[in-house]
Structure 1
Amino acid sequence: MTTWITICDTCKREDWDASLGRTHGEMLAELIEGAAPEGPDVRLRRVSCLMGCDHGCNVAVQAAGKLCYTLGRFEPTEEAAHAILDYARMHSDSDTGRVPYRDWPQGVKGHFVTRHPPLPE
Structure 2
Amino acid sequence: MTSHSEIVNSYKEKLPPHLRKLYERLAIERRNISYYGYLLGFILSLLIIYYKLKVSGRNSLSLVCLVTSTCFLTNYFYYILSPKSDWMLNHINNQYQARIWLEMYREMQFNYHMGIVLGIMAVAMLAFSFRC
TM-score (norm 1): 0.30
Based on CA coordinates, which of the two structures has the bigger radius of gyration? 2
Name the structure with the higher helix share.
2
The structure whose residues are more often strand, as a share, is 1
Q: Which has the higher contact order (CA 8 A, sep 6+)?
A: 2
